[in-house]
Structure 1
Amino acid sequence: MGGTSTSTFVIRWINFLTMILAILVVGFGFWMSTHNDECRRSLTIPVMALGGVIFLISLAGFVGAWKSISCLLWTYLIMLFVVLVAIMVFTVLAFIITNTGTGHAVAGSKYKEYRLQDYSSWFVKQLNDTDKWIHLRSCLVKSDDCNSLSKRYKTLKQYKLADLTPIESGCCRPPAECGYPALNASTFDLSYHPVSTNVDCKLYKNDRSLRCYDCNSCKAGVAQYMKTEWRVVAIFNVVLFVILSFVYFVGCCARRHAGGSDSKVPGR
Structure 2
Amino acid sequence: MALSNNITSCLNFIAILCSIPIIVAGIWLASKPDNECIHLFRWPVVILGILILLVALAGFVGAFWNRQGLLAFHLFCMAVLIVLLLILLILSFVVTRPDGSYVVPGRGYKEYRLDGFSSWLRTHVTNSGNWGKIRTCLAESDVCSKLGQNYASADQFFSGHMSPLQSGCCKPPTICGYGYVNPTLWVNPTNPMGDPDCYLWTNDQTQLCFGCNACKAGVLGNLRKEWRKANVILIIALVVLIWVYVIGCSAFKNAQTEDLFRRYKQGWA
In structure 2, stretches of 5+ residues that fail to align are none
Which of 13, 19, 22 pairs up with 2:19?
A: 22
Paired residues of 1:32 and 1:41 also in contact (CA < 8 A)? no
User: SS at 1:183's partner residue?
Assistant: strand
Q: After superposition, where does 1:17-166 map in structure 2 within 5 Å?
A: 17-33=14-30, 38-39=36-37, 43-166=41-164
Cα distance in structure 2, aligned partners of 1:49 and 1:92: 18
Which of 212, 215, 229 pairs up with 2:212?
A: 215
Q: After superposition, where does 1:114-263 map in structure 2 within 5 Å?
A: 114-195=112-193, 197-263=194-260
Paired residues of 1:104 and 1:113 also in contact (CA < 8 A)? yes
After the TM superposition, which of the residue ranges 130-139 and 72-81 deviates more from structure 2? 130-139
Once the two structures are TM-superposed, the CA of residue 245 in structure 1 deviates from its matched residue by 0.6
Paired residues of 1:32 and 1:44 also in contact (CA < 8 A)? yes
User: SS at 1:104's partner residue?
Assistant: strand
Cα distance in structure 2, aligned partners of 1:27 and 1:231: 15
Once the two structures are TM-superposed, the CA of residue 127 in structure 1 deviates from its matched residue by 2.3
After the TM superposition, which of the residue ranges 21-30 and 112-121 deviates more from structure 2? 21-30
In structure 1, stretches of 5+ residues that fail to align are none
User: SS at 2:130's partner residue?
Assistant: helix
Once the two structures are TM-superposed, the CA of residue 32 in structure 1 deviates from its matched residue by 4.2
User: SS at 1:158's partner residue?
Assistant: helix
1:187-215 deviation digits (Å, cap 9, x = unpaired): 222252212x2111111111111111010
Distance 1:153 1:24, change over 3 A: closer
Paired residue type of 2:176:
C
User: SS at 1:71's partner residue?
Assistant: helix
TM (norm. structure 1) is 0.90
Cα distance in structure 2, aligned partners of 1:205 and 1:51: 42
Paired residues of 1:114 and 1:170 also in contact (CA < 8 A)? yes
TM (norm. structure 2) is 0.89
Cα distance in structure 2, aligned partners of 1:185 and 1:17: 47
- The share of aligned pairs that are identical, in percent, is 33
Cα distance in structure 1, aligned partners of 2:95 and 2:252: 38
Question: Aligned-pair RMSD on alpha carbons?
Answer: 2.1
Once the two structures are TM-superposed, the CA of residue 236 in structure 1 deviates from its matched residue by 1.7
Once the two structures are TM-superposed, the CA of residue 35 in structure 1 deviates from its matched residue by 5.9
Once the two structures are TM-superposed, the CA of residue 73 in structure 1 deviates from its matched residue by 1.1
Matched positions, count: 264
